[in-house]
Structure 1
Amino acid sequence: MPDMSKMKKPDVKVVLLGDMNVGKTSLLHRYMERKFKDTVSTVGGAFFLKQWGPYNISIWDTAGREQFHGLGSMYCRGAAAVILTYDVTNWQSLAELEERFLSLTDTANHDCIYAIVGNKADLTDSKAHLSRDSDGQSENQTECEEGRTEPEVLSACPTPPASPASLSGLMLHKQVTREDAVALYGRILRYKGLEEKSSLPAEKMCFETSAKTGYNVDALFEALFDLVLPSILRKRHENQESPTVDLEECRGVSGKKARSSCC
């Protein structure tokens, strides 16, 4: 177990919500560890701490199973952003966001930001096979170049993904369209009593991602981090105005006073 006294204090909280098997944990592993790996269903919740410039952002991965449903509101308490995640090949996973998970966000900050994220885009869209990292290189190119030790090696990188035509037979039916996600975002704003004109536009808050290939994963998290920056700055300002009391130091001072007055 990590030493909690040495952990950095988070400046802001981001929470992932969604049904089981939509890929929430895989999205986090892809972003935090830069790789995809098979995962088991999350039990309760898992905590990640992201160093983003001078700020510390806690990212909470929550369980999608119904038996852990009640824990969601606890994890959402004080959240500055919530990522509502569904599977683009499963219409029910989108419906569950509104039916089961939206009410859990009642404990989030009043100015919480909501992103609607359709994962597993690589199963329905051939362009999601072409993942690009922050340097503009494809994932296959990066892995190949990292493996080269001599400049004269002539072996080529792995064959790039097949063309859309050749992949068409492998694609699954896309049950949830982007328009469906945009419509859900509008209903979330109405549920929260927010006006669409004064809120972030749906086009900016609805994403389609692939944890397997990395498609749009960085774009999702970094867009959210930019948007929660005002919350981070406000929280730091409030902490400066209301300094915390060091209990250990207080105990030490009171102990000295007690010893000095006993004789």
Structure 2
Amino acid sequence: MPELSKMRKPDVKVVILGDMNVGKTSLLHRYMDRKFKDTMSTVGGAFFLKQWGPYNISIWDTAGREQFHGLGSMYCRGAAAAILTYDVTNWQSLAELEERFLSLTDTANNDCIYAIVGNKADLIDPQAQLLANQDGLTADWERTGEPRVPSACLTPPASPISLSGVSVNKQVSREDAEALYGRILRYKGLEETNSLPADKMCFETSAKTGYNVDALFETLFDMVLPSVLKKRTEREGSPTVDLEECKGTGKRARAACC
């Protein structure tokens, strides 16, 4: 009964952080609604609920605007995973993650998992562009039965291109994102040798074409699931006290004294 499951308290919380216009809300709509939407800037925050097997996962979309910055720590409270999002064509959006948004995660769980996500990969990566036909277009093999032969090579071209024809440059490399991930671990006082490796926790995605979006969310969900199971086991194994029985015991004790 999906209606009842949606009314349950979420088992785990995921929060997505990043500067305005990096595509946080578009990433969530791509994953939840399976389509790309041109969205307005988020005001305050928004709440999504995803059923993952028998579990309910709440995903919090936060505003990147400076005036809503103070709300971020509230949305991060109790988070099991944080998605720190930047724009691969905007170096400042990566710097903002460390300067403005990382401190907001101080209210997250001690075992919070961090993912560094570079969105808008379709602007600089031909492989991400190839998925563009999934965004409301009919694929060539659906029309003719033959797969489309890409005109662009799978390695980045010498000159920057984009689907819109406007030249853009990739300003943030994967190495830059992995270096930030290492600094996050040090900020949290975590040993890199005992933490998830950077190459597993740094993603490049495209909300417009869907490139790597499912991989991002489902990888995180698989990682936080063990912590959910552990906490449930601890709750089920903890001793409980029957208050009604205690009340009865107290009455009997007082009666014996009289």
CA deviations over 1:86-138 (Å, ceiling 9, x no partner): 00000000000000000000000000000000000000111111339xxxxx7
- 2:71 corresponds to: 71
| 1:45 Cα offset (Å) | 0.6
What SS does the aligned partner of 1:28 have?
helix
Say if 1:166 and 1:96 are closer, same or farther in 2 by CA, change over 3 A: closer
Letter of the 1:41 counterpart: S
Deviates more, 1:5-14 or 1:95-104: 5-14
Q: Is residue 2:204 matched to residue 1:208?
A: yes
- Alignment equivalent of 1:139, drawn from 124, 129, 134: 134
Aligned 8 A contact 1:48 1:59 in 2: yes
- 1:17 corresponds to: 17
- 2:253 corresponds to: none
State how far apart, in whole Å, the 1-side matches of 2:237 and 2:38 are.
45
- 2:174 corresponds to: 178
- 1:62 corresponds to: 62
Say if 1:198 and 1:67 are closer, same or farther in 2 by CA, change over 3 A: same
What SS does the aligned partner of 1:131 have?
helix
TM-score w.r.t. structure 2 length?
A: 0.81
- 2:183 corresponds to: 187
State how far apart, in whole Å, the 1-side matches of 2:240 and 2:46 are.
27
What SS does the aligned partner of 2:131 have?
coil
State how far apart, in whole Å, the 2-side matches of 1:158 and 1:114 are.
37
CA deviations over 1:134-174 (Å, ceiling 9, x no partner): xxxx73799559xx8xxxxx656896654146985445100
- 2:108 corresponds to: 108
Would you say how many aligned residue pairs link Structure 1 and Structure 2? Answer: 233
Letter of the 2:205 counterpart: T
Aligned 8 A contact 1:140 1:157 in 2: no
Structure 2: give runs of 5+ residues left out of the alignment: 245-258
Percent identity (aligned): 76
Structure 1: give runs of 5+ residues left out of the alignment: 133-137, 149-153, 251-263
Say if 1:36 and 1:78 are closer, same or farther in 2 by CA, change over 3 A: same
State how far apart, in whole Å, the 2-side matches of 1:244 and 1:144 are.
58
State how far apart, in whole Å, the 1-side matches of 2:63 and 2:136 are.
34
Letter of the 2:45 counterpart: G
State how far apart, in whole Å, the 2-side matches of 1:115 and 1:189 are.
11
- 2:89 corresponds to: 89
Aligned 8 A contact 1:79 1:112 in 2: yes
State how far apart, in whole Å, the 2-side matches of 1:50 and 1:83 are.
16
Say if 1:76 and 1:233 are closer, same or farther in 2 by CA, change over 3 A: same
What SS does the aligned partner of 1:197 have?
helix
State how far apart, in whole Å, the 2-side matches of 1:156 and 1:244 are.
63
CA RMSD of aligned residues (A): 3.1
Say if 1:110 and 1:7 are closer, same or farther in 2 by CA, change over 3 A: same
| 1:216 Cα offset (Å) | 0.3
| 1:238 Cα offset (Å) | 3.7
What SS does the aligned partner of 1:83 have?
strand
Q: Is residue 2:8 matched to residue 1:8?
A: yes
State how far apart, in whole Å, the 1-side matches of 2:36 and 2:148 are.
19
